[in-house]
Amino acid sequence: MTKINLIHPTGNPNARNAALAISDLGMLNTIATTFIYNPDILDNHIGRSLKRYLPEITSRLEKELSRRTWITPEGSKIYDYPWQEIFRIFLVKTKLSQKLGIKDKDLVDWMVASFDRHVAKHHLKNIDALYAYEDGAADTFTAAKQRGIYCFYDLPIAFHATSRSIQTEEAELFPELASTMMAVHEPEWKIEHKNREVELADHIFVASSFTQRSLLDIGIPHFKITVIPYGAPINYFEPRPKQDSIFRAMFAGQVSTRKGAHYLLQAWQELRLPDSELLLVGINQLPSDWLAKYSDRVRMTGSVPHSTLNEYYSSANIFVFPSLVEGFGLVLLEAMACGIPIITTPNTAGSDIITDGVEGFIIQIRDVEAIKTKLEWCYSHPQELAEMGKAARQRAEQLTWETYRQKLAMVIREKLE
């Protein structure tokens, strides 16, 4: 019987669904990750006391931790190696990392690299294939190749060469924002790891045609890449009535140059629509002094619990995500699941999940005038926009995780036969 180990340092919906797809084939041997949340952890005396006396805090904690829940498919095992990840979270949440001058990104890189090395030493026995993800597979694939193990690689964002090229161009256009463009400052060891992962991979799964193009541009053959869009969280996010009459455009994610937030802010400032608001949900990565000039009719929430996002989406008329470099913007599917139409770019998987003019609009990157034109149309056509929202929800219902799993399983079976 063919045996596959799935490797992911943190866990996310696509990794969990990949594990289920492999399990459906009867091929899943083990899952390896870092920190796993067990829902039973609060089902004891202390947990019940917390739920009784601090119900709101406990509820939010459970919902946030649930994102780290792994359900082990029948017939397979899961191994967790949590200490580096717990240490990283501790440093970040207590802000000790800031006091020590350690960047959050460096802590993530350290945790993932440590996990990769551990897997390479301890999780390659008696298996036929691996399924691993970007940044966490260089050492594992190197060791796997020495054992003749087939390597499936999942690349969730555009290959680094494309990302670096676009962000380097952006740094030239906006020198004052250059320090915020992470791909320009990637360390050489990490670039080497990314290159090695792609070179060693036998087959690569991506979620968008944009990510596919970034691989084709470096000479990866077409037959070695499969595009499968992620599934929409239609059971978790749902349409809800809007509670006010303010026209609200919403953005969710890191408020950063890579995600095109600076173009959205410029467009919004120039539009000056009456009775309107731009809502930015996410951690700000733009310089505070630069952002200050765009404070008029712009509301920033900072990071919010994922469990509360539905209410933010439902308060919006349109979701705007003008990202320059993405792999697949899951926030797009969240908004669509809430019945909110979207404005986005081809670099986000927008072209893979919507038809321009039906569930939203596709615009080119860096196009302030296009953002203004589409937002003004949305503002002036509330009935048509509401119909777009219904179409967005219907489209989200077609992009299911079940379809994702079926397509993924079909390719894996073909490659290993």
Q: CA nearest 154: which of 112, 221, 114, 202?
A: 202
Strands 4-7 and 129-133, how do they pair? parallel
Environment class of 109 (CB within 10 Å of its CB; exposed 0-12, middle 13-18, buried 19+): middle
Q: CA nearest 187: which of 98, 104, 109, 91?
A: 109
| Confidence label for 52 from pLDDT (cuts 50, 70 and 90) | low
For the stretch 81-106, what's the b/e string if a residue is b when 16 or more beta carbons lie within 10 angstroms of its beta carbon? beebbeebeebeeeeebeeeeeeeee
Same topology between domain 4-231+401-416 and domain 247-398: yes
Residues 6+ apart with CB under 8 A from 259: 251, 253, 321, 322, 323, 324, 326
Question: Which residue did the predictor score with more confidence, 361 or 106?
Answer: 361
Distance, C-alpha 77 to centroid of its chain: 26
- The whole-number pLDDT of residue 334 equals 96
Average pLDDT over residues 30-45: 71
CATH classification for the domain delimited by 247-398, as one of 3.40.50.2000, 3.30.1330.10, 3.10.450.50, 3.40.50.1380: 3.40.50.2000
- The whole-number pLDDT of residue 46 equals 46
Name the token pair of 244. 């006010």
In three-state secondary structure terms, 21 is helix
pLDDT digits (tens, 9 = 90+) for 371-410: 999 999 999 999 999 999 999 999 999 999 999 999 999 9
Question: Which residue did the predictor score with more confidence, 54 or 414?
Answer: 414
| Confidence label for 61 from pLDDT (cuts 50, 70 and 90) | low
State the Cα–Cα distance between residues 231 and 100, nearest whole angstrom.
39
pLDDT digits (tens, 9 = 90+) for 233-265: 999 899 999 999 999 999 999 889 999 999 999
pLDDT digits (tens, 9 = 90+) for 260-311: 999 999 999 999 999 999 999 998 888 877 777 877 788 988 888 888 899 9
Domain ranges in the chain are: 4-231+401-416, 247-398
Which fold does the domain 4-231+401-416 belong to in CATH?
Rossmann fold (3.40.50)
- Average pLDDT in the chain: 90
| Confidence label for 323 from pLDDT (cuts 50, 70 and 90) | very high
Environment class of 118 (CB within 10 Å of its CB; exposed 0-12, middle 13-18, buried 19+): middle
Question: Which residue did the predictor score with more confidence, 47 or 282?
Answer: 282
| Confidence label for 337 from pLDDT (cuts 50, 70 and 90) | very high
Strands 276-281 and 247-252, how do they pair? parallel
The answer to whether 207 and 328 are in contact (CB under 8 A) is yes
State the Cα–Cα distance between residues 164 and 60, nearest whole angstrom.
37
Q: 401: number of CA atoms within 13 Å, CB side?
A: 17
pTM, entire model: 0.89
Q: CA nearest 135: which of 151, 118, 111?
A: 111
Residue 9 scores a pLDDT above 80: yes
Average pLDDT over residues 319-333: 94
Residue 40 scores a pLDDT above 70: no
- The whole-number pLDDT of residue 85 equals 85
Q: How close are the terminal C-alpha atoms of the chain, in Å?
A: 11
pLDDT digits (tens, 9 = 90+) for 143-187: 999 999 999 999 999 999 999 999 999 989 988 887 877 766 788
- The whole-number pLDDT of residue 252 equals 95
* Cα–Cα–Cα angle for 12, 353, 343, rounded to 5 degrees: 100
